[in-house]
Amino acid sequence: MNSAKSRFRLLNMLRLLLLGAALLMLSACNAEVVTAIIVAEDGSGTVEVALILDPEVAGQLPDLESAGIALADVRAAGWVVEPRELTDDGRTRIQARKAFANPAQFSEVMADISDGMLFSDFQLERINSFAQVKYEVTGQIAPAGMASFTDSGLDVLLGESLESFAARLGADLTQASIGLSVTLPGEIPPEGSNGVRSDLAAESSTRFWQTSLAATQPVSVRSESTTREIGALVALGVSVIAGILALLVAASVALRVVQRRQQARAKPVAKRPSARAPKKGTHELVLTESGAEVPVSANPTVVALDGMGVLYGTAADVADVLVPFCFERGSHLTADEIASRARQLSLGRIEPAAFWAAVGVQGDPDELDDEYLSLHALMPGVVRFLRSLRDREVRVACITNDSAAWVRKLRKRHSLDTLIDPWVISGAVGVRKPDRPIFEVLRRLTGEPPANILVVDDQLDILDAARALGYRTAWFAPDAAADEARGHSILRSFDVPDVPAEATVN
């Protein structure tokens, strides 16, 4: 078989693997396509394409061989197609993977997946300099609707174009989730990468990107890390030590200085008393659920708080705070126009400096940021609440629709980094709640199944979406009645008593 024909079949197989997820998602089933790039220290690695299905829909995907796909050709091209397997949270996973030996082969493997239609311009660089190695992966996720999965050959297999098939089903492309993770050796520097960072892997650096087929803007991917070359550092250390020894042999005065320093170091140093670990409380978080108080602290291992309206006091932050702020500083746009640009900011498509310019507010962007963010105060009692959860070893996350830059400044202003991790921000992910992809990022960063995560929000439509994905939910609504909660639990305040007792969240 010639190489062109082999590549055509290979591309068709991989697209059909992705197509299976797309068709299931079009019919309102829970499925996701996840591509994982894993790079080793020598610049080799693997690319994995996985289709993950909920139990009720796993049986709807046909066997690949019976669908007329020649898996032997695919395996001959270096791809390993694994049999279906059951994940820890009860879902079915179907996966294909291919190894690459060097950065040049990496680009070829990425082209195998979609031939530039979904993943484009992907490159891997490995730059070796003295005492360190730098790794960098760049590219774009550029969904083009159903065209991301099809070509004329696939249209023949379907008997019609995929676009017409999707239209006939009344497809909701916003629910078609496309995820990408990049894992590099070494450490992620503070700057130079985008995406959402994960520190779950102790010896690697992983970042996530999430989008959907409905996205109209490409998602830029950039991830870099560095590793230290131990051999070079040891060689440097040996040369330094050799130089020192030569000086000591040549100069007896230097030797006496060294001896005096050693004697000084031998003197006992008084130890500072160690800080006492905080005493863990025994109180429970109690929510109102269907009219009855139900203790839930023993169940969720993660509590995921919303930003504005839960963590911070202002719920309608755009309408009640941002729009008036812009008006006061000379903006001539309408409230709707300002809100539209704020939405672009919250999706990460523009930065704060571009936002201020777009709404006609003059001034230094950093100073404008600080003035605006000073208007947001923490919800009363939230810090004590966060500490109480930390003391009970309940992890706290934040999942919010906001600018990534503004969230970073606010959490630094209020010293929240030691109390909340991870931060899932729409401006970093490129998608907002209540869309499914941002909840998938939350699941991946926490490493917990949705059933172990309690999502707290002040918006019922967001909670409805989270519950549909299997998350526990709580409505933050101090004055709400139980019959208004649509079956969600109600969290009324963050009050925590001074002594270990029951935390009254009625």
Q: If you write DSSP's letter for every residue of 449-497 in order, what string do you get? A: -GGGEEEEES-HHHHHHHHHTT-EEEEE-TT--GGGSTT-EEE------
How many Å apart are CA 490 and CA 481, to the nearest integer? Answer: 9
Quick one: pLDDT at residue 248?
47
Residue 490 has pLDDT above 90, yes or no: yes
H or E element in which residue 217 lies: none
Q: How many CB atoms lie under 10 A from the CB of residue 20? A: 21
Quick one: pLDDT at residue 418?
92
The pLDDT of 146-156, averaged and rounded, is 58
Q: What is the pLDDT of residues 383-434, one digit of tens each?
A: 999 999 999 999 999 999 999 999 999 999 999 999 999 999 998 888 899 9
Quick one: pLDDT at residue 179?
84
Average pLDDT along the chain: 75
DSSP reduced 3-state for 132: strand
Which residue would you say has higher pLDDT here, 263 or 370? 370
Quick one: pLDDT at residue 183?
86
Identify the weakest region by mean pLDDT among 131-140, 166-175, 334-343, 428-437: 166-175
Which residue would you say has higher pLDDT here, 276 or 401? 401
Spans of all domains in the chain: 3-228, 286-313+376-491, 317-373
Q: What is the pLDDT of residues 80-120, one digit of tens each?
A: 887 777 777 777 777 888 888 888 889 888 887 766 667 88
> Please, are residues 193 and 165 in contact by the beta-carbon 8 Å criterion?
no
Residue 200 has pLDDT above 50, yes or no: no
Q: If you write DSSP's letter for every residue of 143-173 in order, what string do you get? A: -BTBTTT--HHHHHHHTS-HHHHHHHHT--G
Quick one: pLDDT at residue 273?
38
Fold for 286-313+376-491, please state it. Rossmann fold (3.40.50)
> Please, are residues 119 and 141 in contact by the beta-carbon 8 Å criterion?
yes
H or E element in which residue 72 lies: helix 71-76
pTM above the 0.75 mark? no
**Partners of 182 in the beta sheet?**
37, 207
CB contact burial 332-363 (16+ within 10 A = b; e otherwise):
ebeeebbeebbebbbbbebebeebbebbebee
The pLDDT of 212-219, averaged and rounded, is 77
Q: What is the pLDDT of residues 18-34, one digit of tens each?
A: 555 555 555 545 557 78
